[in-house]
């Protein structure tokens, strides 16, 4: 079996990616990028490998993961992708998305473009916004798609300063009955997710306009000695009770449902259809 060569870099490495080869190239991959996390200072680094068969003047392998260049990165690197052969895109725990440009003439990296607030939380506890980690990116030049813990999916273009499109969800637990979850989405859906345990053997159904259809299930293994009544329904692992009932609260799909709020039996939501929907009978 081929030998594996190790190099200790004094950083926790979160992501590694090979630089793509030019179309039609017969070369083998020899340059890769790494990103770090959980360090006092995190870095995006570019490395080169060469001929492992030859020794250099110091007796080391010529291909021993030579560092070409690196650049400091604000926050943990949650994802890293090559945009093309010269540019690298990173997703940060700070919610920032950054495009770095490699300069092969002097072997340096620089910030080419940056969206500092690509992902963020908003709400009563954060009057302006608080950052939300960007957890994943995918690139297809000239487009970059990002996802984050704020529930947003962003579409960026390399030549645009703002997101071309954002898919704007909100998720709310009922403030006094957290077994009930409410979500809205850009696709016009407004759903009530009922995981309450006071309805034994509840069927797994999706309700809309009098029609029902099987929709969703989930199960995880449970600790048998933990009493069911003290476990959140969302963490329940009893396969006999682990059911979710989903109800669409709007009579028909509309334009994007942008925001919702729940208090007691009342729900209000606003849409791009220039309509506000209100119900005072959530649990009737």
pLDDT at 237: 53
Lowest model confidence (mean pLDDT) among 37-41, 51-55, 195-199: 51-55
Which is higher by pLDDT, 167 or 239?
A: 167
pLDDT > 70? residue 224? no
Residue 114's H or E segment, with its range, is strand 108-115
| CA proximity to 193, closest of 172, 210, 176, 211 | 172
Tokens standing for 241?
């009770």
Q: In sequence order, which residues have a C-beta less than 8 Å from that of residue 134 and are 6 or more positions away?
A: 78, 79, 91, 92, 93, 95, 96, 97, 118, 119, 146, 147, 148
Average pLDDT of span 223-247:
57
d(CA 273, CA 99): 36
Contact predicate 278/268, CB 8 Å: yes
pLDDT > 70? residue 63? no
pLDDT at 80: 96
Sorted by where each begins, the domain ranges of the chain are: 13-167, 172-195+241-283
d(CA 243, CA 195): 6
Which is higher by pLDDT, 16 or 223?
A: 16
Which is higher by pLDDT, 45 or 216?
A: 45
Q: In sequence order, which residues have a C-beta less than 8 Å from that of residue 23 and are 6 or more positions away?
A: none
pLDDT > 80? residue 70? yes
The SS3 call for residue 230 is helix
pLDDT at 115: 96
pLDDT at 227: 42
| CA proximity to 96, closest of 123, 76, 67, 122 | 76
pLDDT band at 12 (very low <50, low <70, confident <90, very high): very high
Is the pTM value of this prediction over 0.85?
Answer: no
pLDDT > 60? residue 78? yes
Lowest model confidence (mean pLDDT) among 137-141, 164-168, 219-223: 219-223
The dihedral through the CA atoms of 247, 251, 256, 257 has a sign that is: negative
Report the share of the chain in percent with pLDDT over 90.
Answer: 37
d(CA 56, CA 28): 21
The DSSP secondary-structure symbol of 82 reads: E
Q: In sequence order, which residues have a C-beta less than 8 Å from that of residue 13 and are 6 or more positions away?
A: 34, 35, 36
Domain range 13-167, its CATH number among 3.30.70.20, 2.130.10.10, 3.10.520.10, 2.40.50.100: 2.130.10.10
pLDDT at 234: 63
Q: How many CB atoms lie within 10 A of CB 139?
A: 19
């Amino acid at each position: 079996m081929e030998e594996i060569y190790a190099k200790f870099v004094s950083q926790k490495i979160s992501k590694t990616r090979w630089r793509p080869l030019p179309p039609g190239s017969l070369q083998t991959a020899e340059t890769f990028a790494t990103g770090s996390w959980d360090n006092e200072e995190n870095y995006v680094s570019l490395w080169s490998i060469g001929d492992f068969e030859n020794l250099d003047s110091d007796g080391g392998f010529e291909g021993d993961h030579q560092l070409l260049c690196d650049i400091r990165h604000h926050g943990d690197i949650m994802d890293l992708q090559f945009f093309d052969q010269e540019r690298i895109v990173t997703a940060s725990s700070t919610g920032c998305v950054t495009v770095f440009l490699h300069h092969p003439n002097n072997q340096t990296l620089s910030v080419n473009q940056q969206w500092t607030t690509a992902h963020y939380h908003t709400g009563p506890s954060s009057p302006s916004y608080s950052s939300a980690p960007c957890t994943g990116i995918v690139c297809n030049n000239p487009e970059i798609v990002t996802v984050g813990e704020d529930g947003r999916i962003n579409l960026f273009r390399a030549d645009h300063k703002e997101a071309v499109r954002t898919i704007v969800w909100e998720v709310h637990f009922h403030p006094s009955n957290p077994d009930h979850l409410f979500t809205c989405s850009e696709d016009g859906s407004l759903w009530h997710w009922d995981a309450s345990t006071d309805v034994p053997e509840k069927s797994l159904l999706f309700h809309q306009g009098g029609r029902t259809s099987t929709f969703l299930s989930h199960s995880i293994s449970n600790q048998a000695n933990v009493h069911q009544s003290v476990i959140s329904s969302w963490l329940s692992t009893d396969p006999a009770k682990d059911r979710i009932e989903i109800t669409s609260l709007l009579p028909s799909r509309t334009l994007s449902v942008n925001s919702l709020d729940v208090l007691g039996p009342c729900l209000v939501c606003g849409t791009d259809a220039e309509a506000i929907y209100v119900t005072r009978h959530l649990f009737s």
